[in-house]
Chains A and B, each alone.
Chain A
């Protein structure tokens, strides 16, 4: 079953604009990871934020985590056409005894030139 829910389901913007995607989840977590997927291919790892962290940056990416609200956001600044892809959040739930990722349903991002 899907734990996470991304919002919006789809987002269409112009090059140079910022894109914000949100993720909500249901259970306590060890960490939350964001992935990108191009056209049904493999997932590319973008960033991992641990449960004791609130914000993390990597290049044009900024991720926030609010464990009290069980939510995270991914901000892509100065978007490019090459950022067009589906973006998934994945949580690593606590107390499973092993690491498994529980993915949301994804946000489809379209960046137009």
Chain B
């Protein structure tokens, strides 16, 4: 069974940094692209960033480009999101999500497994 467990969320002041982690199990982690997707509680979903299986292809939403950095460790079966210069509008539940992986280059951008999320609150 696929399991994705996020951690690292919390309350942080505007302008500060935070690092999220996602521990993966139940599948061959280095076969799949991975993503971060966020959701303001009670609101809709926003894709934040994605990384290919070998870290060779990385993408960001315009809203976080230049401030957030995605990375992965295929030995530790873990995904990370380094968030710098945090803003109040970054407040959300952050989900780690696995790509389906059957498409060309392994990037389908269909998210077939999700963690339960970790809450990030940016406030003074």
B and A form one assembly = no
Query: Chain A residues in contact with chain B, CB under 8 A?
Result: none
Query: Chain B residues in contact with chain A, CB under 8 A?
Result: none
